[in-house]
Amino acid sequence: METGVERAPLLDHAVRVPEEKEVVGWVERSWIESKKLWRIVGPAIFGRVVIYSMNVISQAFAGHLGDLELASMSIANAVIVGFSFGLMLGMASALETLCGQAYGAKKYHMLGVYMQRSWIVLFLCAVLLLPIYLFATPLLLLLGQPPDLAKQAGVISIWSIPLHFCFAFYFPIVRFLQSQLKNNVTAVISFVSLLIHLFVTWICVVKLQFGLFGTAMTLNFSWWAGAIMLFIYVVAGGCPDTWNGFSMEAFVGLWDFLKLSSGSGIMMCLEIWYYRILILLTGNLSDAKIAVDALSICMNINGWELMIPLGFFSGTGVRVANELGAGNGKGAKFSAVVSTVTSSVIGLIICALIMWLHDIFALIFTSSPVVIQAADKLSLLLAFTVLLNSVQPVLSGVAVGAGWQGTVAFVNIGSYYLIGIPLGVIMGWAFDFGVQGIWGGMICGTAIQTLILVFLTIRCDWEKEALRASSRMADINE
C-alpha cells in the first residue's frame, strides 16, 4: 500500500507546519492555521447543522400536531434518545484522538482498524442500552413525568430503536473521514439525507397522515440512509490509504480501546445530558406541558447553534491530534488558541441575533401564543447559554485531541452534577424561580466547567503531550 504524500494530498494541510517556521508575525500564523482549521470545521459545521435539522424538522412536525405531541417528542429525544446519542457520539470521539494522531504519524492503515474497533465496541454498548428504550415509560414515570407524557414518550422511544443502532454505525464513519480531512464527503451526504428526510416526512406526515409515528419512523429512515451512503463511499474506494477491508486486527487491543472510548463517552454524555436533564426537571413543574414546550424550543435553537461550536470541537480535536501525532506540541497549542478565539467571536454574533429575535424565534415550532410568550421569557438565558457554548466545546475538542477524556469526565461530573444541577434545583423550587431558576443554576455549572478547562489548557505542557501521543498509540496497538 502506498502511504506517501502523493496518495495523501491533504497531508500538507493536516500535519506539516514548516511554513509556520518561516513566518514571524502572529497574524500570518493565525491565517495559516485558520485555513487548516476551516478545511475541517466548515464542512463539519455544515454536516452537523444539516443532520441536526432533520431532528428539528421532525420535532417541528410533531409540534404542529399538538402540544402533547411536541412535549412527548421532546422528552423522548431529551431523555432516552439523547442519552444514547451522547454516549455513542462521545465513544466515537475516541477516534478523533487515535485516528488524528495516527494520521499525523503517517500510520494510515490503522485508521480503518480503529474504525472497526469502534464499531464493535459501540454495537455492544447499543445492545446493553436497549432496556432504556424498551422500558422508557416506567422510567419516565419514576422520574416524575406526567402519565400521559410518559406513555407517549415511551412509545416514541420504542419506535426510535433503529435510530439508536444507527448511532453506533454512523458516528465512527464520520470520525474516520473527519480525521483524513474528508469532511466534504460527510457534508454532501448529510445534505442528501436532509432532502430525503424532508420528502419522506412530508409524504408520511402530511399526505399519509401517519402522525407522530410517521415523524419517528422517517427519522430512522433518513439517518440510516446517510450511514449507508457513507459506508458505500468508504468501501468503494474513497479511502484507499486508510481502508484495506475488514481485518482481524480490529479484535486486538479492544480493552484499551474500550477504556479510551468509555472516557470519551462519559465526557460527551455528561455534557449533552446536562441540558437534557433541564427538560426533565422542567417536566416536574406545574403546568409542565407549556414549560416543556417553551424550553424544548429554546433547547432546539441552542442545539441548532451548538452544531457550530461542535464543528470546532471536531476541527480542534483533529488539528491538535494531528500536531501531537507529528510531534509538534507548539503547533497543537496554537491550533487550540486560534480555534477558541474564532468560535467565541461567532458565539457573540449569534448571541446578539437571539436577543434581536427574542419574541419571534418560537414561531418555527409552534403557533401557540402561550408557548411563544413562555419561550420569549427564556431568551436571555438562551443567549447566555449560546455564549458559553461557543467556548466550552472547543476546549473539550482540545481535550479529545490530547487524550484527556478521563480528566474532563471528572471535571464535568463536578461542575455539572455536583454544582450546576443542585444549584438549579434550589433556584427552581426553593426560591420558586421555576424554569428560569433551574436553567440559571445550570448555566453557573457550565461557567465553572469552562473556567476549569481554560486553566487546564493554559497550564498544559504541550511538548510532553506530543511524547504521550506516541506512547499512547504504541500501547493501544500491542
Q: What is the mean pLDDT of each run of 10 residues along the chain (478 residues)?
A: 37 41 67 86 84 80 73 78 82 80 81 92 93 92 84 91 94 89 88 92 85 86 94 93 88 81 74 71 69 78 83 82 80 88 92 88 80 87 90 83 76 87 87 84 89 87 76 58
Q: Tell me, what's the pLDDT at 477?
A: 56
Radius of gyration of the chain, Cα coordinates, nearest whole angstrom: 22
C-alpha cell at 62: 410533531
Q: Which pLDDT score, from 0 to 100, does residue 350 have?
A: 92
Query: In this structure, how many other beta carbons lie within 10 angstroms of the beta carbon of residue 129?
Result: 19
In terms of phi and psi (left: phi > 0; alpha: psi -120 to 50; beta: otherwise), the region of 432 is left
Burial 15-54 (b: 16+ CB within 10 A, else e): bebeeeeeeeeeeebbebbbebbbbbbebbbbbbbbbbbb
Whole-angstrom Cα distance, residue 123 to residue 112?
Answer: 17
Q: What is the pLDDT of residue 64?
A: 66
For residue 21, the model assigns a pLDDT of 46
Give the C-alpha distances (Å, rounded to integers) separating 20 from 181, 339, 374: 20, 16, 51
Q: Please state, in angstroms and rounded to a whole number, the distance separating the CA atoms of residues 309 and 294.
A: 23
Q: What is the pLDDT of residue 189?
A: 93
Angle made by CA atoms 399, 261, 3, in degrees to the nearest 5: 80
Cβ atoms within 10 A of the Cβ of 478, count?
7
pLDDT recorded at residue 476? 54
Q: Model's pTM, two decimal places?
A: 0.73
